[in-house]
Amino acid sequence: MTLIATLPRLVSSGCELDAEPDKLGFMRDSSPLLDDVAALRERMHEDGYLFLRQSLDRDQVLAARRECVARLAEDGHLDPAFDPMEAVAAPSYSAKFMPNLARDNAALDRVLYAGPMMRFFRAFLEGDVRHFDYTWFRAVAPGKGTAPHCDSVYMGRGTQNLFTAWTPMGDCSFDLGGLMVLEGSNNNLRLRETYGKTDVDTYCANRTGRAGQDAWQKGSAGALGTDPAKIRSSLGGRWLTTEYQAGDVLIFSIHTVHASLDNRSNRIRLSADSRYQRADEAADERWVGEKPIGHSQAGKRGRIC
């Protein structure tokens, strides 16, 4: 019997996930451990993630959602026949990444950078905490989700003791396409020493002509691939996922392989990625400051290939 015989088939990057119990599983809820920081750290090391059910203020999350869908509606991205809180996509909407929704958004900042979230990280990291000033906000249209990758290739120039909080801005069913993680992939040393040491904003400085120009402009690819089954077979472990509710948060290391399920609904999936580290450790310069440079040309670094 397969693990999800009674549930809708799960699809990521257009590939149906193998539902055998040694290949697919459900995340375990670590919220009962919130008063035991040592146990949380041990579980993070073992699994590469912490799924914390209803650890955030649900009303605050829904207030942030309300602000985001209001902006989407104003820009014509929602179907006006439905309540904006349903976030039903307009037929013309095809975006996935909408960082503008996070700018000057006090309701979202209360969820991500105050209250329970910051209390958690101060305890978990045992000290003063800083968060990246850039917020990755996803407003994912129906269609394929995010391909498997590790965050280290996008933000690994500072401390390696950096953690991502993936926060769904509303309830998130399997069909809407929430996140999945590859269990224990944070401990794959071969992956860390190869793919994990790449930087998407580096280019081959010794290439000349058109090839050199293209390398400088494009940098390196960040995804591990587009077939989750092949990646799981190569690296081992199980793909783990769940259905999320407003108030849940998923926290994982920058070395944890993760991806998202495809959005097989008619709605926009709203979620935020925010990053946290100890304040006394080095931060990746691309994501901090009043106007983070991000993956712009200002963040490119040459190397000898």
At 183-199, the pLDDT tens digits run 999 999 999 999 999 99
Question: Per the domain annotation, does 9 fall within a domain?
Answer: no
Would strands 239-241 and 24-26 be described as parallel, antiparallel, or unpaired? parallel
Question: Per the domain annotation, does 22 fall within a domain?
Answer: no
CATH code for position 93: 2.60.120.620
Q: Report the C-alpha gap between 74 and 47 in whole angstroms.
A: 41
Per-residue tokens: 103: 């700018």
State pLDDT tens for residues 25-67.
999 999 999 999 999 999 999 999 999 999 999 999 999 999 9
The pLDDT assigned to 205 comes to 78
The pLDDT assigned to 7 comes to 60
Question: Per the domain annotation, does 17 fall within a domain?
Answer: no
Per-residue tokens: 26: 């459900």
Domain that holds residue 129: 27-303
Question: Per the domain annotation, does 10 fall within a domain?
Answer: no
Question: Per the domain annotation, does 148 fall within a domain?
Answer: yes
Q: What is the residue-averaged pLDDT of the chain?
A: 92
The domain tally of the chain equals 1
The pLDDT assigned to 215 comes to 45
Strand partners, 303: 204
- Among 6-15, 92-101, 246-255, the range scoring the smallest mean pLDDT is 6-15
Per-residue tokens: 120: 């958690």
Per-residue tokens: 141: 């249209």
Question: Per the domain annotation, does 5 fall within a domain?
Answer: no
The pLDDT assigned to 203 comes to 81
The pLDDT assigned to 260 comes to 97
CA atoms within 13 A on the CB side of 25: 14
The answer, yes or no, to whether residue 4 has pLDDT greater than 50, is no
Q: How confident is the model at residue 302 (pLDDT cuts 50, 70, 90)?
A: confident
Question: Per the domain annotation, does 59 fall within a domain?
Answer: yes
Q: How confident is the model at residue 206 (pLDDT cuts 50, 70, 90)?
A: confident
The radius of gyration of the chain's CA atoms, rounded to the nearest angstrom, is 19
State pLDDT tens for residues 84-116.
999 999 999 999 999 999 999 999 999 999 999
Question: Per the domain annotation, does 7 fall within a domain?
Answer: no
